[in-house]
């Protein structure tokens, strides 16, 4: 016996709008009964993929099959019996009673001269009940709230009684309560009736919470696909969205969720294409903040690390758009954070060490820095006299001595540090302008 064909099978799909590639070589299969969330940044191709599944677009390459039949081979009416669509919003102009509006969904099941039957009316009543609008059946669709209207649109789509339901950002105009309400209902209906659901959702956390599977699109390509647990990662958010985020596991549901922290500067307008840098600042506890501000002001590209979340330096870095390796509050630096810090240190053209207090939780900052001190100019700010910085039983003092012997420059204040950076980078800038650019 052969297995039933999947609800959706997309093979090597390519769609172009003029010269812009909207989808490129997308392969994508949805088994019957699955709830798939389609996600990705704006313009990643989610809506294009949904519209391809609806047969609204003629692909430039590849095929789209619904339940084993190419979508282009289905008539519009047949298609409407296979797949229903909940758009982001509907421009509704006429104040149609809700029941009538839901009955519109029966159209593909009728012949041109048929009237709605008792069975249609019973179905409409049942669906209105399922979406929680039974008591509004006789109200006009323009008189209900936005959240109710989105449920009404869902009801109209459900009235088509299709085995496949497509939702295109169905929650983007809803408040959080209505978002949860709508997606809970969709998932429940999917479970109860075995309806296959493909929903474009730009909110990753919502996607993780409701979908069996998450498919991530980026610039028209499928870049990740799997269970929420497999797909959600800080790396994904950084790569695809350009956002620094933290991944956590919700203790209650056991599902992963992402806490976005800052935009990664790649997407920000750089001070200039030739902006010197990056200059890396090692700090903490607010000691690095004046340096970060001064360097940003001067137009350098600046990075920072490893900082603790909620600490003044981390907040400053965030607000200035400075890329930073960040650790959870008060925790010792994890191997992961240290690795990210080392990447930033390795990219730096100059490193400034702020006069920051060093304890066991951040001693690793200085330890990680040392290997780079031989290749990269390091500028160390002296603490103001009488300030105690070493809370690490001498380890921090030893590390500073090691820096001195590795050739680090010691300066007294922030302006002096900035002048030193300018001097050091002027040399490297001349070098880099005379050298051919490297791939």
Footprint of other proteins (CB under 8 A) = 54, 56, 76-77, 79-81, 83-85, 87, 90-97, 100, 104-105, 107-108, 110, 112-113, 138, 140, 142-143, 156-157, 160
With respect to other proteins, which residue has the nearer C-beta, 148 or 420?
A: 148
Kindly state the smallest distance separating residue 28's Cβ from other proteins, in Å. 19
Q: For residues 93 and 374, which CB has a smaller minimum distance to other proteins in the complex?
A: 93
Residue 419: strand, helix, or coil: helix
| Shortest distance in whole angstroms from residue 107 CB to other proteins | 5
Instruction: Give residue 261's Cα distance to chain centre.
Output: 11
Residue (153 or 189) nearer to other proteins, CB: 153
- On whether the CB atoms of residues 354 and 411 are closer than 8 A, the answer is no
| Cβ 250 to other proteins shortest distance, Å | 35
* 108 or 228: CB nearest other proteins: 108
- At which residue do the structure tokens 């979508």 appear? 71
Stretch (H or E) spanning 403: helix 395-405
For other proteins, give the closer residue by CB, 107 or 391: 107
Other CB atoms within a 10 A radius of the CB of residue 330 amount to 10
If the CB atoms of residues 108 and 283 are measured against other proteins, the closer one turns out to be 108
Q: Measured from the CB of residue 104, what is the shortest distance to other proteins in angstroms?
A: 6
The distance of closest approach from Cβ of residue 78 to other proteins in the complex, given in angstroms and rounded to an integer, is 8
Structure tokens given for 416: 């002096």
Whichever of 38 and 292 has its CB closer to other proteins, that residue is 38
Report the C-alpha dihedral over residues 336, 236, 248, 41, rounded to 10 degrees.
150
Q: How far is the CB of 313 from other proteins (least distance, A)?
A: 49
Find the shortest distance in angstroms from Cβ 140 to other proteins: 4
Cβ closer to other proteins: 77 or 419? 77
User: How far apart are alpha carbons 243 and 365 in whole angstroms?
Assistant: 24
Give least dist CB 44 to other proteins, A: 20
DSSP sequence for 313-374: HHHHHHHHT-EEEEE-TTPPPPHHHHHHHHHHHHH-SEEEE----B-TTTHHHHHHHHHHHT
Cβ neighbours for 377, distance < 8 A, ≥ 6 positions apart = 349, 350, 351, 408, 409, 424
In angstroms, rounded to a whole number, what is the distance separating the alpha carbons of residues 96 and 142?
A: 8
CA nearest to 400, candidates 376, 416, 379: 379
Helices and strands in the chain: count of H runs, count of E runs: 15, 18
Q: Which is nearer to other proteins, 86 or 279 (CB)?
A: 86
Q: In terms of CB distance, is 18 or 386 closer to other proteins?
A: 18
What single DSSP character describes residue 147? H
Q: How far is the CB of 158 from other proteins (least distance, A)?
A: 12
Using CA atoms, how far apart are residues 407 and 419, in angstroms rounded to an integer? 17
Tokens linked to 239: 């790569």
Distance CA 56, CA 66 (A): 14
DSSP 288: S
Q: Are strands 221-226 and 302-308 parallel, antiparallel or unpaired?
A: unpaired
User: Taking the complex as a whole, how short is the minimal distance between the CB of residue 201 and other proteins, in angstroms?
Assistant: 19
Q: Is the dihedral of CA 33, 39, 45, 48 positive or negative?
A: positive
Closest separation in Å from C-beta 292 to other proteins? 47
Distance separating alpha carbons of residues 95 and 139, to the nearest angstrom: 9
Nearer to other proteins (CB atom), residue 160 or residue 265: 160
């Amino acid at each position: 016996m052969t297995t039933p064909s999947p609800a959706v099978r997309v093979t090597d799909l390519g769609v172009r709008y003029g010269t812009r590639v909207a989808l490129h070589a997308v392969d994508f299969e949805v088994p019957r009964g699955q709830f798939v969330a389609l996600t990705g940044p704006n313009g990643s191709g989610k809506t294009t993929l949904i519209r391809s599944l609806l047969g609204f677009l003629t692909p430039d390459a590849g095929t789209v099959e619904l339940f084993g039949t190419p979508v282009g081979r289905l008539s519009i009416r047949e298609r409407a019996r296979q797949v229903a669509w909940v758009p982001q919003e509907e421009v509704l102009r006429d104040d149609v009673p809700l029941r009538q509006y839901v009955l519109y969904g029966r159209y593909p099941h009728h012949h041109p001269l048929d009237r709605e039957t008792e069975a249609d009316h019973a179905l409409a009543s049942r669906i209105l009940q399922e979406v929680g609008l039974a008591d509004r059946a006789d109200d006009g669709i323009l008189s209900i709230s936005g959240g109710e209207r989105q449920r009404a649109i869902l009801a109209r789509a459900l009235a088509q009684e299709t085995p496949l339901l497509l939702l295109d950002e169905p929650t983007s105009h809803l408040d959080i309560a209505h978002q949860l309400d709508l997606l809970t209902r969709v998932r429940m209906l999917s479970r109860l009736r075995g309806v296959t659901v493909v929903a474009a959702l730009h909110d990753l956390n919502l996607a993780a919470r409701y979908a069996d599977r998450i498919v991530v699109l980026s610039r028209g390509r499928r870049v990740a696909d799997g269970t929420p647990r497999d797909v959600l990662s800080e790396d994904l958010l950084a790569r695809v969205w350009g956002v620094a985020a933290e991944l956590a596991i919700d203790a209650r549901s056991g599902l992963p969720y992402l806490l976005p922290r800052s935009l990664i500067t790649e997407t920000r307008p750089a001070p200039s294409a030739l902006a010197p840098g990056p200059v890396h600042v090692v700090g903490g506890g607010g000691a690095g903040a004046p340096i970060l501000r001064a360097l940003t002001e001067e137009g350098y590209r600046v990075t920072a690390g490893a900082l603790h979340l909620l600490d003044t330096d981390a907040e400053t870095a965030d607000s200035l758009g400075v890329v930073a390796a960040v650790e959870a509050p008060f925790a010792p630096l994890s191997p992961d954070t240290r690795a990210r810090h080392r990447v930033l240190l390795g990219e730096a053209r100059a490193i400034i060490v702020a006069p920051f207090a060093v304890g066991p939780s951040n001693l690793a900052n200085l330890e990680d820095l040392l290997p780079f001190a031989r290749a990269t100019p390091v500028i160390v700010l002296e603490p103001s006299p009488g300030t105690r910085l070493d809370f690490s039983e001498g380890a921090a003092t030893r590390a500073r001595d090691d820096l001195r012997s590795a050739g680090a420059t010691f300066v007294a204040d922030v302006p002096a540090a900035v002048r030193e950076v300018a001097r050091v980078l002027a040399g490297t800038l001349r070098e880099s302008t005379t050298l051919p650019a490297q791939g």
